[in-house]
Structure 1
Amino acid sequence: MKIGLNTDSLAHLSLTETLDFAAELGLDHVEFATGGWSSAPHVNVDRLLDEEGTRRDLQAQLSERGLRISALTCSGNPLDPGPAGRAHDATTRKTIKLAALLGIERVVMMSGLPAGPGDTHPNWVVVSWPPEATQLLEWQWREAVLPYWRELSSYSRGHGVEKLCLELHAHQVVYNVPSLLRLREEIGPIVGANLDPSHLMWMGGDAIEAIRALGEAIYHVHAKDTRLEPGVALRTRLENLPLFGGDRAERAWNYVTLGDGNGEDFWRRFCATLDEVGYRDVLSIEHEDTALTPEDGVSNTVDFLRRVAPIHV
């Protein structure tokens, strides 16, 4: 594997400071967020689109540190029926255009989540009863999800970007392996997974089995861990207490630094299974553990990955 960094993990640092830190750790790749739910602290997608000199400068800064871009990330909800959805869709299209200009083959994003007929807010259907839940879910796929993705995939192919990497995330219509494979079957192999095991962990999935089921559909991987807390016994995994800025001790689960949720044995099996299915690419660190400073969390994760992952040059 190769080790990379989602630079939002160090959002408080400047671009230069972030790239220097990545180089000091001996990382191979960085992953830049361009907008959506990210403030895009390190790149300005509009300037990069409009100014060839700005693109050359970014590539020079990366090259002189021995870094490459693994993916551009624009996670948001382009299927939201309100202004936010239109803004996220615009960012998605800008990101695809920028990826083409920079010669990057992967764009990480989420599937989006539509509302129901006439509704103003997205509606995440995760049960089959009462009957209107199933009816709503099928309406969402038929009337919103598939039309959008057919058009977006055509747009992306037109720009030469052939890997749209969907993160299996809560409050998205694609949130687990079957929903990812359903969209991939309908749209084609341009749709693949950005496999972030931390979300599967708290939802009760099995990240190792997910790797085996997805196989060649894995296009990008986030290195991120989740710890189930004692509170899960009473609260269940359906947690709505604040993830950031609240009382972590009260929550049923939390994002933690790699190894603090699942130990070395799990992560060795995780990396070995990726290798078995042919994924020998980037493990992009996404640090969201508020118990550690970002610098400490990222550094600890790099050390951990070098112990558990087969490194490919």
Structure 2
Amino acid sequence: MRLGMLTACLPQWTLDRIAGWAAAAGFEALEVAVWPSTGGRDYAAAHLPVADFGPQAVEETRALFDKHGLALSAFAYYENNLHPDPARREEIQTHLRHAIDAAQALGVAYVGTFIGRDWTKSVADNLAEAERVFPALVDYAGERGVRIIIENCVMEGWHPDGYPGNLAYSPELWEWMFGLGLYLNWDPSHLTWIGIDPVETIAPYIDRIVHAQAKDVELDPAARQRYGFFGKVNKGGNPWDLGWWRYRVPGLGQIDWTRVVDRLYEHGFTGTLSVEHEDPVWGGDDERITQGLHIAHRTLRPLLVH
């Protein structure tokens, strides 16, 4: 198992700068954010130009990772592949194919994205739509030796009423999406706040957990007494603020990382455990973000076999 980090937390840094910092800080791999430079999501990062990724870019990227002794564990492009606007959906899926092409050129095994959801339709209609949409994407990836991995984030901020905006948040839905040929970028933080013990999801699905994200979550039971499980109704303009939980870097939340890592080892996980830093306490500027990454590293590194 390797300890890596997702580059999206440092959107203004170049990949060269991130790689140098990460190697010096003791990380072994990068999960590289590959949103288009035009953005899309407010925290998207464009660390490789996958839409225009010619032979020179391939060689430069290989040389960069070799220089710093890092692995490139996956590409990250987490967008809504069931977006209700047909034009926007096509943009997203076109860029996903660009990411798959670049992954093939670099020998990267995984490209991460979301199932997503058309929030104007029922869950049943969305599942049927995904069954229509995803086989072609899975085939496109498979023909190029790449697997599409789905993060189990709820993405409640994508839905106007705060309902799940990414239909991959539970083991029930994982079993459905595995039938479409998709794999899992397993993240315990999302499971924890929706009431699922993340440790208990490892053994049953280890054959599909090919990449994992290390993100913690802090729960506030007193606030939940006021808002309920579904969180605030009046979010003050921030659709992501449910009011009773927040993301933290590993070691500062509820997750028992000793149990998580032990169970991953027990069941033969040999992939990358990639720190995803979305901690508001250790955010806001580069110094605090990198300090948060150091905290995550100090928490996780002793648990991994050298």
Q: Same fold (TM over 0.5)?
A: yes
Give ranges in structure 2 of 5+ residues lacking alignment. Answer: 155-164, 283-287
SS of 1:193's partner is strand
Q: Which runs of 5+ in 1 are unaligned?
A: 116-120, 124-135
Alignment deviations for residues 118-141 of structure 1 (CA, whole Å, 9 cap, x no partner): xxx4x5xxxxxxxxxxxx332322
Of 114, 139, 142, the match for 1:154: 139
Whether the 8 Å CA contact 2:184–2:209 is kept in 1: the answer is yes
The one-letter amino acid paired with 1:238 is F
Partner residue, 2:259: 269
Does residue 1:251 correspond to 2:243, yes or no?
A: yes
Say which of 173, 182, 199 aligns to 1:179.
Answer: 173
Give me the whole-angstrom Cα distance separating, in 2, the residues matched to 1:167 and 1:14: 24
CA deviation after TM superposition for structure 1 residue 75, in Å: 0.8
Tell me the amino acid that sits aligned with residue 273 of structure 1: R
For 2:59, the equivalent position in structure 1 comes to 56
Question: Quick check: 1:68 aligned with 2:71?
Answer: yes
Match of 1:26 in 2: 26
Deviations 1:25-52 (A, max 9, x none): 121110111116453332111232xx21
Amino acid at match of 2:18: T
Letter in 2 for 1:146: E
Take 2:305 and 2:153, find their aligned partners in 1: how far apart are those partners?
27
Deviations 1:132-164 (A, max 9, x none): xxxx3323222x110111111111112221x21
Aligned residue for 2:79, secondary structure, equals coil
Residue 244 of structure 1: CA displacement?
11
Partner Cα separation in structure 1 for residue 26 and residue 178 of structure 2: 35
Percent sequence identity over aligned pairs: 25
Q: CA deviation at 1:220?
A: 0.5
1:232 aligned residue: 224
SS in 1 for 2:80: coil
Aligned partner of 2:81 in structure 1 is: 78
What is the distance in 2 between the residues matched to 1:243 and 1:286?
Answer: 26
Once the two structures are TM-superposed, the CA of residue 268 in structure 1 deviates from its matched residue by 0.5
- SS for the counterpart of 2:167 is coil
**Counterpart amino acid of 1:256?**
R
Distance 2:60 2:246 in 1: 38
Structure 1 consecutive aligned stretches of length 4 or more whose deviation exceeds 4 Å: 240-248
Instruction: Report the equivalent of 2:4.
Output: 4
1:280 partner SS: coil
The change in CA–CA distance for 1:30 and 1:225 in structure 2 (over 3 A counts) is same
- After TM superposition, give the deviation of residue 169 of structure 1 in Å: 1.6
- 1:165-193 CA distances to partner (integer Å, 9 max, x unpaired)? 111121112211110111212x23xx111
Q: State the one-letter code of the partner of 2:196.
A: G
Aligned amino acid, residue 176 of structure 2: R
In the alignment, is the contact (CA less than 8 A) between 2:51 and 2:95 conserved in 1?
no
**Distance in 2 (alpha carbons) for counterparts of 1:8 and 1:40:** 5
The yes-or-no answer on 1:223 pairing with 2:214 is yes
Aligned partners of 1:197, 1:147: CA distance in 2, in Å? 29
Question: Does the aligned pair in 2 maintain the 1:216–1:278 contact within 8 Å?
Answer: no
Indicate the residue corresponding to 1:45 in structure 2.
50
Report the TM-score, using the length of structure 2 for normalisation. 0.86
In the other structure, the counterpart of 1:145 is 130
| Count of residues paired in the alignment | 283
2:162 matched residue in structure 1 = none
Superposed CA RMSD in Å reads 2.2
Q: Is the 8 A contact 2:249 2:292 kept in 1?
A: yes
Deviations along 1:33-79, one digit per CA (max 9) or x if unpaired, are: 1116453332111232xx21122111111110101100011110111
Tell me the SS of whatever aligns to 1:13.
coil
- Contact 2:10 / 2:45 at 8 angstroms: preserved in 1? no
Classify 1:204/1:97 alpha carbon distance in 2 versus 1 (closer, same or farther; 3 Å).
same
In the TM superposition, residue 245 of structure 1 has moved relative to its aligned partner by 7.6
